[in-house]
Amino acid sequence: MGGFWTQSFPPSPKFTETNVHDLVGKVFIVTGGNAGIGLELVKILYSKGATVYMAGRSATKIAAEIEAIKATSTQSPGHLKSLIVDLGDLTTISNCASTFLAQESRLDVLFNNAGISRQPAGSVSTQGYEAHIGTNCLGPFLLTKLLLPILLQTAKSAPKASVRVVFTSSGLVDIAGPPGGLSLSELAPGKHSTDINRNYSASKAGNWFLASEFDKRTSKDGVVCVVQSPGTLRTKGWDGTPWLVRLAMAPLFYPPKMGAYTALWAGLSPEVKSEDGGKVIIPWGRWHTSPKKDILASLKTKEEGGTGLAAEFWDYCETHTKEFAA
């Protein structure tokens, strides 16, 4: 519970746009970049001269946001580009990656920012997976895997620990969810939990697992994978919440830009080192110092004294996305 409170009442951010230097020549992808936290992050990166790909489901909404940003940031030497992807539909992800790879020869940071929350019990992704797991975990897993070659190639000539993959978790992981973070048995058809907070929390623990497992496979080659909990923010993710709950939560809500600062620290702060892969970053850019012990056990193999659950979840994601990787 202590982790929840420090995330709910964080100190002021110490890494903002004022700490970010020239990003000309750098390339970034921000999923969910046309709204909320992602949009604020895109604005910061673009203002520093980066090439930023705004990835989302709606070409119309992306185009509108790109035009709006350009209209207010006329002096930026950066570039804004569109990527169409629906992370809840695995058939769209290969084309998204191919579209990007056809245009770029480097990728400095992949921000797996997009996600869904509080979907009604029984909701499923296009392929029939529990909606939160399908959209928040399987989609980002496949996208990251398809973009891994260009990330590894970029790391060969980039400054040490500067090429990163940033997954997105939630403070809810500290207070809700199955033991160990998630339950593999609940991922089976017909076995999904009817508790929407449990389902969402499981998907956010899954993001942490994926960051850890990707890092185990990439850190030796220079790509650092971390996970960040952006904070309790005033975004559309709360739209389905009863108004009384939102009213009670109002004192905890912060503007989306504050969440962008958490992601910015995760993706660009020099405080993130090669050995930090798999760690959790909390608002507004600092390390989580008291993660739940049962989740830490999930991250370790049985040989290391853990449960190996994170590795099992990696295998689950690989098995269920394999046919869509081509």
Dist. CA 255–CA 230, nearest whole Å: 11
Question: Going by DSSP bridges, is the β-strand pair 280-282/286-287 parallel, antiparallel, or unpaired?
Answer: antiparallel
Dist. CA 119–CA 201, nearest whole Å: 12
Backbone angles phi, psi at 153, to 5 degrees: -65, -40
200 is a catalytic site residue: yes
pLDDT digits (tens, 9 = 90+) for 189-230: 999 999 999 999 999 999 999 999 999 999 999 999 999 999
Catalytic residue among 204, 257, 279, 292: 204
User: Which tokens sit at 10?
Assistant: 């964080």
Dist. CA 152–CA 140, nearest whole Å: 17
Please report the pLDDT score of residue 74 as a whole number.
84
Please report the pLDDT score of residue 235 as a whole number.
61
Residue 45 has pLDDT above 70, yes or no: yes
- H helices present in the chain, as ranges: 2-8, 36-47, 59-72, 93-101, 131-133, 139-155, 196-218, 243-249, 256-268, 293-299, 309-321
Q: pTM score, two decimals? A: 0.95
pLDDT digits (tens, 9 = 90+) for 121-168: 999 999 999 999 999 999 999 999 999 999 999 999 999 999 999 999
Other CB atoms closer than 10 Å to residue 147's CB: what's the count?
Answer: 20
Domain that holds residue 154: 2-324
Question: Going by DSSP bridges, is the β-strand pair 51-56/27-31 parallel, antiparallel, or unpaired?
Answer: parallel
- Number of compact structural domains in the chain: 1
DSSP 13-36: PS-SGGG----TT-EEEEETTTSH
What is the CATH classification number for the domain harbouring 236?
3.40.50.720
Catalytic residue among 46, 200, 254, 261: 200
More confident residue, 74 or 51: 51
316 is a catalytic site residue: no
Please report the pLDDT score of residue 94 as a whole number.
98
